[in-house]
Structure 1
Amino acid sequence: MFCCSIVGGREAKPHSRPYMVSVQYGGEHSCGGILIQRDFVLTAAHCNVVLGAHDISKKERTQQCIQVAEYYPHPGFTGQYEYDIMLLKVKLSNFTSKEMFKVT
């Protein structure tokens, strides 16, 4: 249903985008997102959070898996592309890394 790639993109310098997150389900990457506040991630509503990763196919010392406390999909989202946006409130109990920063 949804494409899983960025078309025409190129690899960024490691940790040059500290606000990027990997939204995962069952330990597998499903979507990207951005950290917009210390405890909120903006992502696509079709995504059902690993922070600090540069290459999600490898385990890096900077990666932290953070549980989702609450989710807020757009009320108009129906499973299609329209209104495909969602906020995730994350649990911050073990959130400690200088490699992760919100978008400013």
Structure 2
Amino acid sequence: MFSNLPGQQQGRIIGGYSPAPYSITYLVSIQTTVGQHFCGGTLISKSWVLTAAHCNIGIVAGDYSVGIYEGTEQYRMPRLLITYPQYNRTTNNADIMLIKLQAPVILNSYVSIAPLPLQGADTTEGHVCRVSGWGFTTPSGGIPSTLLTVTLPIVSSTACNSTSSYNGNITDSMICAGYAAGGKDACSGDSGGPLVCDGRVYGIVSWGTSCADPRYPGVYTAVIKLQCYFNPALNLKPC
């Protein structure tokens, strides 16, 4: 997907590696009705998936090799979509959504839940986090058959918003991650997937300019800034 900002790519793993099979078990593949992967998501309970607001159709949990039936998959259709009210398709602000599944998944060796950040927690510049997905492996394309993962350091909002980078387009509900030298990043098809820091989902793959470009880190929805809105649906205490 492409948005209206020049050069901005939505969906956006480059420079990563294949983790041990079924070692990242909270990640789900969001697919079209004909089984084509187009986004990632995170199981945050047996019945709820956290993803980007521009991602939804069918959910596959327990997958490792997309397009190959391995017997570990659990297929679910969405029952309810809850998008953050201030989501803006043009700026990608508040690019976050909850998907309630028609039936809960069964937790096992292949399917698990990732916790949300603790209230008041935050990411700091240089903190290394992990992003995973089945997205493009090069800026020009190339979809992997198996899951890929990469670790990336958090980039300060000041640097990410500088005139040599995103020039003021990074809002308070976004965080950036990437290396100054580039070469490692999320890319098209990874959208909606989790940026996991210290075992918790702090970010959602949202958008960026190109992929793995040293000038432009990947941009993620800052879960901690928006999660209070979803607490009632998740039966969590209000913030």
**TM-score band w.r.t. shorter chain:** 0.7 to 0.9
Of stretches 12-21 and 74-83 in structure 1, the one that deviates more from structure 2 is 74-83
Closer, same or farther: CA 103–31 of 1 in aligned 2, 3 Å = same
Aligned length: 103
Please give the per-residue CA displacement for 1:37-87, whole angstroms capped at 9, x wherever unaligned. Answer: 110000011112111001113122111210111011111113242211110
What amino acid maps onto 1:23 in structure 2? I
User: Which residue is 1:7 aligned to?
Assistant: 14
- Equivalent residue runs for 1:8-87 within 5 Å: 8-26=15-33, 27-48=35-56, 49-80=59-90, 81-87=92-98
Secondary structure of residue in 1 paired with 2:44: strand
How large is the RMSD of aligned CA atoms in angstroms? 1.8
Conserved 8 A contact 2:30-2:39:
yes
Distance in structure 2 (CA, Å) of the matches to 1:21 and 1:58: 15
Shift in Å, 1:9: 2.5
Equivalent in the alignment of 2:168: none
| Unaligned 5+ runs, structure 1 | none
Q: Which runs of 5+ in 2 are unaligned?
A: 3-8, 116-239
Greater Rg, structure 1 or structure 2? 2
Which AA in structure 2 matches 1:62? T
TM-aligned CA deviation for residue 3 of structure 1: 4.5
Aligned to 1:37, what secondary structure does the other structure show? coil
Higher mean C-alpha displacement, 29-38 vs 57-66: 57-66
Report if the CA contact (8 A) 2:46-2:107 is conserved. no
Contact 1:35-1:103 within 8 A present in 2 as well: yes
Instruction: Report the TM-score when normalising by structure 2.
Output: 0.40
C-alpha separation between the residues in 1 aligned to 2:51 and 2:65? 19
The answer as to whether partners of 1:20 and 1:35 remain within 8 angstroms in 2 is: yes
